[in-house]
Amino acid sequence: MRRQLLILLLLSQVLTSWSQNRRRTFRQHEVGVFGGGSYYLGDLNPRTHFVFSKPATGVYYRFTPSYRFAFKFGFNYGQLVADDALSGEADQIERNLNFRTRLYEWYGVSEFHFVEYRIGHDRYKFSFYVFGGLGYYIFNPQGNYNGTYTDLSGLSTEGQSYKKRQMNIPFGCGIKWNMGKSFGMALEWGPRKLYTDYLDDVSGKYPETAISDNGSTFSNRSGESVAGGMRGNPSTRDWYFFYGLNITYKFPDKGSCHGTGRRRKPLFPNHFHHSTIFGSRS
């Protein structure tokens, strides 16, 4: 995944520099809504994409200075869940951990269109695209025991502490198409590169020293004596993902021909003064 991230970011930078020299440029402002799903990969779900998906939504603003390039700023809300008891792996079932968290994300990304694209254009109406940028998110993992959810971050289930507000790197890809003069749609999939392995409150070893009774309840659900044993995989970081449908509204153009990007021709040439038609006033 790291290699794909670097490739996408480098590709975006190279293509961005190239696109800024394109002859056809314009100013376009858009707002939109996102609807889809969110899921995570980590110690409680090591490899299966889209499993445990939960509904997600968001809003965004996009500024488009050219047919190839755009800036997008937005907010997403989603949920992440996973449960060892629903895994097909025997060691996970024995570990018997679970978590859920609400997810609040703010982000800013740049987009590059592989094919020239503009909402409402009668020719450039479809494109593949990639994006990358920076994000900020808030999470708060909770564990379920006998039907009651408890915040995990303050229990030091591995003797650890971690920040619940962090930066990330959003990137991904999608497909865009026009839906008339003012609306566009897109299907998008976006991983988030994180700098924590505690999105699910699981990373390293079971604590060797005693912790609170409530902390012990959520630290070791296996029923075995595992002090100092491996509870997760500290060599990898967690990831989360958003995927779904974007619906975009383009604000009306001012002083340009719809779908072409060319300025409207004046009704009368500049040298053709109104007095020529109506006569000079005395």
The pairing of beta strand 142-145 with beta strand 148-151: antiparallel
Q: What is the pLDDT of residue 149?
A: 96
Q: What is the pLDDT of residue 23?
A: 47
Nearest to 112 by CA among 176, 169, 30: 176
Q: Are 197 and 158 in contact (CB under 8 A)?
A: no
The b/e string for 95-109 (b: 16+ C-beta within 10 A; e otherwise) is bebbbbbebebebeb
Q: What is the pLDDT of residue 15?
A: 55
Q: What is the pLDDT of residue 255?
A: 54
Q: What is the pLDDT of residue 277?
A: 42
- Per the listing, tokens 């025997």 go with 90
Q: What is the pLDDT of residue 205?
A: 93
Cα–Cα distances in angstroms (integers) from residue 117 to residues 30, 69, 128, 262, in the given order: 14, 9, 9, 15
Q: What is the pLDDT of residue 9?
A: 58
Q: What is the pLDDT of residue 280?
A: 44
The pairing of beta strand 54-66 with beta strand 148-151: unpaired
Q: What is the pLDDT of residue 264?
A: 47
- The answer to whether the predicted template modeling score (pTM) of the entire model surpasses 0.85 is no
| Burial class of residue 15 (count of CB atoms within 10 Å of its CB; 0-12, 13-18, 19+) | middle
Residue ranges per structural domain of the chain: 2-21+28-278
Q: What is the pLDDT of residue 273?
A: 44
Q: What is the pLDDT of residue 272?
A: 43
Q: What is the pLDDT of residue 279?
A: 47
Cα–Cα distances in angstroms (integers) from residue 182 to residues 66, 97, 120, in the given order: 17, 48, 6
- Per the listing, tokens 């060797």 go with 208
Q: What is the pLDDT of residue 66?
A: 87
Partner residues linked to 186 by β-bridges: 176, 246
Assigned CATH class of 2-21+28-278: mainly beta
Q: Each residue's pLDDT tens digit in the chain (282 positions)?
A: 656 555 565 555 555 555 454 545 678 899 999 999 999 999 999 999 999 999 999 999 999 998 889 999 999 999 999 999 999 899 999 999 999 999 999 999 999 999 999 898 888 889 999 999 999 999 999 999 999 999 999 999 999 999 999 999 999 999 999 998 999 999 999 999 999 999 999 999 998 886 888 888 899 998 888 888 999 999 999 999 999 999 999 998 775 444 444 444 444 454 444 444 444 444
